[in-house]
Chain A
Amino acid sequence: DTGVSQDPRHKITKRGQNVTFRCDPISEHNRLYWYRQTLGQGPEFLTYFQNEAQLEKSRLLSDRFSAERPKGSFSTLEIQRTEQGDSAMYLCASSRSGSAQFFGPGTRLTVL
């Protein structure tokens, strides 16, 4: 399978815990994006990387959120001290520069 993969698919955690999600993009794609999607809404941009460089971050990305793409391949998104408002679907997408994005299946986070 050469699509975008995300792990885990579901995560349930208690408020205050830290969580980390992983995204593996399509191998020849140099751009990687993270989005958050809540029920009844479209995806909202969080951050994106070109190769290993994080080029843009949304205001939605509070200081509890951090993303890395250390070797320009897979990426991780960490949320520290989770809050109930962090409950959402976290989507990863990848693309070649200037072309459409391909999305992964998402990680559904539930914070109790």
Chain B
Amino acid sequence: AQSVTQLDSQVPVFEEAPVELRCNYSSSVSVYLFWYVQYPNQGLQLLLKYLSGSTLVESINGFEAEFNKSQTSFHLRKPSVHISDTAEYFCAVSDASGGSYIPTFGRGTSLIVHP
């Protein structure tokens, strides 16, 4: 079984500042890793994913995350945030060796961008 820990429930930041949302996972098998974003009153949207290959993955809107196997982490970063990045961010992990690919989600981190 896997588990995900998102260390910060809320991260306030000023516009144009850098941000890091932390995610640590535990698993006894190889994993796939995901970040989802949920804007107010909307469903979850896939932001980026790590399946294999390069440990640094990027999204189209400037976010990136790096898979660190030794530290079992998949932190999400953005060098300069915008007001529109205000949302709930969920880290998720799934078993890469099995067939169900059912992700286990963290509790979420609320990113609040202030002008």
Contacts and interface: CB of A to CB of B under 8 A. Distances in A.
Given A42-B92, A48-B102, A56-B102, A91 B107 contact: no
Interface of B: 4, 9, 34, 36, 42-46, 49, 90, 92, 99-108
A43 B44 CA distance: 9
Contact of A48 (B36, B42, B100): B100
Nearest to B49: A100
A42 B49 contact: no
A74 interface: no
Contacts of B105: 42-44
B90 A42 contact: yes
B43 A42 contact: no
Nearest to A58: B102
A45 B100 CA distance: 12
A59 B90 CA distance: 22
Contacts of B108: 40-42
A106 interface: yes
Contact of A101 (B9, B46, B99, B107): B46
6 contacts: A33-B102, A43-B105, A45-B104, A99-B101, A101-B46, A105-B43
Given A33-B102, A45-B102, A100-B49, A40 B107 contact: yes
A104 interface: yes
Interface in A63-112: 91, 93, 95, 97-106
A77 B49 CA distance: 28
Nearest to B88: A42
A95 B34 CA distance: 14
